[in-house]
Amino acid sequence: MDAENLHYFEKAPIAKAVAHFAVPMMLGMSMSVIYSILNAYFLGTLHNTAMLTALALTLPLFAIIMALGNLIGMGSGTFISRLLGEKKYDDVKHVSSFAFYSSIVLGLIVMAVGLPLIDQIVHGLGATPDSFGFTKDYVTIMLIGSPFVVLFFTLENIVRSEGSAITSMVGMILSVVVNIILDALVIFVFHWDVIGVASATVVSNLVASAFYAFHLGYKSQFLSVSVKWFKATKDILSNVLKIGVPVFVMSIFLGTMSLVLNHFLVEYGDQAVAGFGISSRLLQFPEFILMGLCEGVVPLIAFSFTANKLRMKHTIGFTIKTIVALAVAFGVIVYLTSDHLIGLFTNDPQLIEMGSYILHVTFLSLFISGTTALFTGIFQATAQGTAAFIMSVIQGITLIPVLYIANRMNGFHGVVWSLVIADAVAFLVGGIMLYVLRTKLQPDLDHLAN
């Protein structure tokens, strides 16, 4: 961590510090959404709804692989930021080396377990007879490339944890640029359709992982990928898993929620599944912007938690105001242009109508989901493992029974509105827990303020 990063951690004005940490993350994550949208766009040019359906059905698998990267990355990253606040620099090297090698091992385990069970996985994802072959192609490539995908999400968190927000952003943008170039090649030149899109995703994650590993090995003052710093002590494991497991569980629940939604939507035809897939990708753009803001400030909150809790309080307040402004701006844009946005991916009138409707409904909870992400980030940054775990499961626990009841009562409309209800419940639970924990998180604020 150089002097500039230390300045933003400790002394820069709150707005400037938040911008330093969050804007690169927001830009990087928005770029990742763009390539997700372009994946659907490139496949959409082939005018095959079954391919778009396969792309939507594989979202839960990607969520699980990403979850393993976030398990190690978020758990290690928040721990590293707290250690930097305490100036325990050798411990930072041990944790970063642990994160690097353990993420590779996790990816190899996914590949070894998943490939023999490929047909069962594809059936479990809800593939229809028309989309089964395309779904299997995508799943196969993703399982083979899972070590690189897990490593990418781990290292992105580790690099950001030391304050190197620009480097983190560059790695994400590098992944996106490589992916877009490869998408164009595999679709328009090599005609590899779904296999090509999946391969492009894996290769782009490999390239970005190599970039991050180079930074850790040769550019960072405190982070390391050297095996000589590798340790798997009880202290490292407990601190990483205390935050990493709730993050993993949350990602699993998100993947499960997507899987369950797909199974309900299949009842209403491939257009409903594809419409949800397209609208979800469009919704990802503002969601990932807000998520980038919330995840971007996590290292600042974690550092301030051990170094200056009054600064942590001001950071949280400023971030909430920013979430409100962004949610309003995105909401206005989407409500004015939803039909045109869905129309970029298909010329099927029923698909456009369904996708636009889903987009309208799910955008109602944008502010709620953004603030909920901030609540979760606060619990992660301050090592509140129990609260973080509750946040990781509450939305999924709420959604499944709500989906069942709403589907029985109001069919397709009930399925779509279930997402908004689950978001609202998670928001209320997070707000209550933050209120209950306020004294524990900020015991010296009154003293510092005076």
Judged by average pLDDT, the poorest of 72-76, 413-417, 428-432, 441-445 is 441-445
**386 pLDDT more than 50:** yes
**Number of Cβ atoms within 10 Å of the Cβ of 343:** 16
Burial label for 93, CB within 10 Å (0-12, 13-18, 19+), is buried
**445 pLDDT more than 50:** no
DSSP characters over 144-193? HTHHHHHHHHHHHHHHHHTT-HHHHHHHHHHHHHHHHHHHHIIIIIS--H
Give the model confidence (pLDDT) of 65-87 as tens digits. 888 888 898 889 888 888 887 88
**449 pLDDT more than 60:** no
**Domain limits of the chain?**
3-443
Average pLDDT over residues 355-384: 84
What is the enclosing helix (H) or strand (E) of 329?
helix 309-343
**Number of Cβ atoms within 10 Å of the Cβ of 235:** 12
How confident is the model at residue 3, as a pLDDT?
Answer: 61
Give the model confidence (pLDDT) of 207-239 as tens digits. 999 999 999 888 888 888 888 888 888 888 888
**1 pLDDT more than 70:** no
Q: How confident is the model at residue 410 (pLDDT cuts 50, 70, 90)?
A: confident
How confident is the model at residue 5, as a pLDDT?
Answer: 67
What percent of the chain shows pLDDT beyond 70? 94
**Phi-psi domain of 52 (left: phi exceeds 0; alpha: psi -120 through 50; beta: other):** alpha
Judged by average pLDDT, the poorest of 43-52, 147-156, 185-194, 196-205 is 43-52
Q: What's the rounded Cα separation, in Å, for the pair 268 and 275?
A: 11
Residue 246 in tokens? 């709730």
How confident is the model at residue 446, as a pLDDT?
Answer: 44
Over the chain, what is the mean pLDDT?
Answer: 83
Judged by average pLDDT, the poorest of 51-55, 95-99, 123-127, 135-139 is 51-55
What crossing angle do the helices spanning 298-307 and 270-296 adopt, rounded to 10°? 30
**109 pLDDT more than 90:** yes
Question: CB within 8 A of 293, min separation 6: which ones?
Answer: 18, 22, 25, 26, 319, 322, 323, 326, 370, 374
**443 pLDDT more than 60:** no
Give the model confidence (pLDDT) of 140-170 as tens digits. 999 999 999 999 999 988 998 887 888 888 9
**41 pLDDT more than 60:** yes
DSSP characters over 64-101? HHHHHHHHHHHHHHHHHHHHHHTT-HHHHHHHHHHHHH
**177 pLDDT more than 50:** yes
